[in-house]
Structure 1
Amino acid sequence: MAHSLDTDTEAQALIDYVDSSPTPFHACEQSARLLSTAGFKQVRETDAFPTEPGAHYLARGGSLIAWDTRGAHGSGAGPEAGFRVVGAHTDSPNLRLKPHTDHARAGWQMLAVEPYGGLILNSWLDRDLGLAGRVAVRAADGVNGVATRLFHDRQPLLRVAQLAIHLDRSQNDGLSLNKQQHMEPIWGVGDEPGDITGYLAEQVGVDREDVLFSDVMTHPVQPSARIGRRRELIAAPRLDNLATSYAGTRALVDAVDGTGSNGAGHSQVPVLVLFDHEEIGSTSERGAMSTLLPSVLERIVTAGGGSRDDYWRALAATVIASGDMGHATHPNYADRHEPLHHIAVNAGPVLKVNTNLRYATDSIGAAAFRLACEQAGVPMQTFVSRSDLPCGSTVGPMTAALTGATTVDFGAATLSMHSARELCGAHDPAMYAAALSAFLAPAR
């Protein structure tokens, strides 16, 4: 199904998605909502997978995977039909509360935090911050007596205060921040610690003694916005990598037109997988190094009547597109970029290539992605890092190694990556989703 290149609609939809997703758990909740509206049904991992062709999704904490077998299996392609997979991640660098977080110092109530991922520390200074996360509570009807509840407090609660210039006049010569000493936020005034447990109990509607544990994160409360003279830019937190999580979700919905008709011949099963924990190495029960993707793909094959051999045949016919935001050429630091690979915002998706396989792209995967961009009618750019600078990595190499499938890495152009507030083009979300929709539903 063709994707509508409605720039304003897609830009606002991305803004809404990001502002509603302060944590990986909320991002999965938002994607699940969009999928449910499109007719996808939730499956729990402890349940048997449906044997009839259909559109489904399951969530594992801050990760989600969705698929639609109506086109491939329903048309008789067989359980050995390959997959078209779009992968992304839901986590972003931030400040997360430590288990024992309440304390007081010099008449201020403070919260102890631990930096998560490779965040730009100074971008978190003097910002109004809120709290959000997942709380494990005592519940008689829960699994093993435990239930989880999400909360999202959009109110300004916290602030990591910068030191006044009068007390350190060398700051503008090179600011040095200690993660333990200088990044703790203030959340009140007093000589006694505050009560984070009581606060969490109020947020999720339980008694204080029923709060068992929590995963709580800070987030900037300033809403995302269109900026620039012609409003051609989007300033927002967590664009890395919620812009891809949103585009992938929208692409899957668009790739299946309500009947599962994903492309000519209906020969492959479209899949979306959103992983947590990419920013810290992906080694967890729901990261890209986990069994999440391989196990679900195998269960799709076997639920369709296939054998173990059919599963490996399906993987051999699979192509994976791993999405993570890419670096736009920075006007103030152009020398930090490869001079023959200029990357611009509002100029289309970015193919990511690295000879040392920090990105999984090879010529076969690159060709598949280029054809998808051509099918969608959007331009494609190619990113390569300077040879004397290391580049980051993605979930691509991991998923390629775990599945043996052809894999390509791509992204969308971004400035200020890993800042508390990043920048991308307002025209790019529509092109991004269009390219991914075409990848999931190839015309040939």
Structure 2
Amino acid sequence: MTKKKSGEPQLESKPRSCWDVYSAKKHRTAMDKLARRYMEFLSACKTERETVDWAIERAEAEGFTPDFHSHACFRVMRGKSIFLARQGKRPLSEGFRLVGAHGDTPRLDLKQHPLFEEVSFGLGKTHYYGGIRKHQWLARPLALHGTAVTNSGEVKRIVIGEDPGDPVFTVADLLPHLAQKQGEKKLSEAFEAEKMSVVLGHEPSNPGKDEEEKSRVKRRMLELIHEKYGLVEDDLYSAEMQMVPAGPAREVGLDRGLVGSYGQDDRACCFLAMEALFAAKQPEHTQMVLIWDKEEIGSDGSTGAKSMFFEYCLDDLLEAWEPETSPSRALLAAKALSTDVHPAVDPDYQEFHEKLNSAYMGFGPTFCKFTGSRGKYAANDAHPEYVGWLRGLLDGAGVPWQMAGLGKVDLGGGGTVAKFLAVYGMDIIDCGPPVLSMHSPFELTSKADIYATKLAFEEFLKS
């Protein structure tokens, strides 16, 4: 419980705006510098592979190595997940501090047979990934990010649409003059996934010649792909191609107080976890950061939180650092944050939030004691002893924070990676900055929340 200046307890809970707490010039300067680095990261890292590549580069610059006998080490899983650890003063038998996040984000994936032609358009079939609102992805510039592997094993990285001189792509929308029947449908039925074909081209191959040849526009697309990347259509079978919103992250508002960008859920926490790890040096307990893939579709697969990747890393870390300690002993003594963003109260849709138990932009990182949906199904539920410890930690450091749930009880819900770490017996809770327009192509965060969340992660890792 916080204290008044008189020493008396403050009986009523009073949230603190980060803008007020961090009004001093030194904080505002640090906040702006962090926001600039954050926007550079968001602009460069639009896929899980790009996020992991960025993390490797940063880690190596800070002295981390793939050798687990080193005091600072990392390991990568299939190019999409990464584990980092820095040895603490205390042994692993006394636990560790773990910050987990996910680097995947809702998007449009190209199917394995993507290319086709209709009415003189070269098109690509898509399959949406994660929980999108389909109409938000229509009639907007898109960029192509991907990895293709030839049958000889050669890997090609592809990015088209981010450089100002690049072409972009788009999914066309139906004009309002012909959309009367569509407008009468339920939103869930009005936009069909199979009609979200991305426009890839229009010029035919050999213009002025071979006018009777079919699929000339598709052939032109293949010619251009082969000229630039040396790929043929069969190479798309072994490719991961993702359509993401084109363009850089931007400051939003007359005061520049907000960051607008694709992918802040959950790359905000990936970035902030890494920033905190590199700032909180010489730790008391061993520090770990885990960035997973596949959270948006259930955390399955070899790179998701349900995989054995974390267990394999911990086994090898114990063998290198502390072979006499059992994994169960280290896990039971561990403390963890499942760092994921939290929905902020939308000023135009306040009725969907239970406002007493909701997150507000500008009031710091949000703790979510339990996740799940409706009757707390599929939830992690943090223990009060752990919540009390975290409150004391952040209050003692002067870091503002807030506690919230995920909307009104009967209206929805959601899950995070927390429940997959809770099975080991470690203390864990969800924590992350509030976000507006979550899962949209242009999400909003507060610079003040980003700054406060970084400081919260740092206090946790060095605790």
When normalised by structure 2's length, the TM-score is 0.83
CA deviation vs aligned residue, 1:124-170 (integer Å, no higher than 9, x gap): 1111111012222355xxxxxx3534332223431111101111135
In the TM superposition, what whole-angstrom CA distance separates every residue of 1:64-101 from its partner, at most 9, and x where no partner exists?
Answer: 111111x33xxxx3342411100000001100000110
Q: Which residue of 2 aligns with 1:67?
A: 85
Indicate the SS of the match to 1:59.
Answer: strand
Aligned counterpart in structure 2 of residue 167 of structure 1, from 162, 174, 178 = 178
Q: Does the 8 Å contact 1:102/1:195 carry over to 2?
A: no
Give the letter aligned to residue 231 of structure 1.
R
Give, in whole Å, the separation in 2 of the partners of 1:380 and 1:404.
25
User: 1:196-225: CA deviations, max 9, x gaps?
Assistant: 66655555x556499472111011113211
Q: What is the letter of the counterpart of residue 326 of structure 1? A: H
1:271 to 249, 270, 288: 288
What is aligned with 2:373?
none
More displaced 10-residue stretch of structure 1: 279-288 or 350-359: 350-359
Q: 3-state SS of the aligned residue for 1:245?
A: helix
Counterpart in the other structure of 1:216: 241
Q: CA deviation at 1:179?
A: 3.6
Secondary structure of the residue aligned to 2:291 is strand
Aligned with 1:282: secondary structure? Answer: coil
Identity score, percent: 26
Q: Which residue identity lines up with residue 148 of structure 1 in the other structure?
A: V
Q: Partner residue of 1:440?
A: 461
Any idea what SS the aligned residue of 1:15 has? helix
d(CA) in 2 for partners of 1:117, 1:400: 23
C-alpha displacement of 1:431: 1.1
Q: Which amino acid aligns with 2:400?
A: P
Count of residue pairs the alignment pairs up? 411
Is the Cα–Cα contact under 8 Å of residues 95 and 115 in structure 1 kept in the other structure?
Answer: yes
Moved more, 416-425 or 336-345: 336-345
Corresponding residue of 2:411: 389
- Kept in 2, the 8 Å contact 1:352–1:384? The answer is yes
| Structure with higher strand content | 1
Structure 1 partner of 2:271: 246
| Counterpart-to-counterpart distance in 2, 1:163 and 1:207 | 33
Contact 2:200–2:221 (Cα < 8 Å) also in 1: no
Letter in 2 for 1:316: L
**1:46 matched residue in structure 2:** none
- Displacement after TM superposition at 1:229 (Å): 2.1
Q: Which has the larger Rg?
A: 2
399 and 148 in structure 1: CA distance in 2 versus 1, 3 angstrom threshold: farther
Partner residue of 2:148 out of 118, 131, 135? 135
In 2, Cα distance between the equivalents of 1:124 and 1:290?
31
Structure 2 CA distance for partners of 1:92 and 1:209, relative to 1, 3 Å: closer
Q: For 2:38 and 2:104, how far apart are their aligned partners in 1?
A: 16
Q: Kindly provide the CA deviation profile for residues 4-32 of structure 1, in whole angstroms up to 9, marking residues without a partner as x.
A: 84111111111111111111000111122
With normalisation by structure 1, the TM-score equals 0.86
Change (3 A) 1:12 1:359: farther
Write the mapping of 1:117-266 to structure 2, written as runs, cut at 5 A. 117-138=130-151, 146-153=153-160, 154=162, 155-169=166-180, 175=187, 176-189=189-202, 190=204, 191-192=215-216, 193-194=218-219, 205-206=229-230, 208=232, 211=235, 213-256=238-281, 261-262=282-283, 266=284
**Alpha-carbon separation, structure 2, partners of 1:210 and 1:408:** 45
CA displacement at 1:348 relative to structure 2: 0.5
Aligned residue number for residue 63 of structure 2: 39
CA distance in 2, matches of 1:381, 1:195: 54
Q: Which amino acid is 2:292 matched to? A: F
Work out the CA distance in 2 between the residues paired with 1:108 and 1:331. Answer: 40
For residues 315-326 of structure 1, the aligned pairs below 5 Å read 315-326=331-342
CA distance in 1, matches of 2:141, 2:238: 25
Partner Cα distance (2:91, 2:195) in 1: 58
Which of these residues, 53, 56, 68, is aligned with residue 29 of structure 1? Answer: 53
Amino acid across the alignment from 1:27:
T
Q: Residues of 1 paired with 2:354 and 2:296: CA distance? A: 24
Which residue of the partner structure matches residue 302 of structure 2?
285
Q: Are the equivalent residues in 2 in contact too, given 1:80–1:301 (CA < 8 A)? A: no
Query: 2-side partners of 1:22 and 1:215: how far apart?
Result: 13
Which of 358, 365, 382 pairs up with 1:361?
382
Inter-CA distance 351–202: structure 2 relative to 1 (3 Å threshold): farther
Match of 2:36 among 12, 35, 55: 12
- 1:272 is aligned with what amino acid? V
- Extract unaligned runs of 5+ from structure 2: 1-21, 205-214, 371-375
Task: Select the structure that is richer in helix.
Answer: 2
Cα offset, 1:376, TM superposition: 4.2
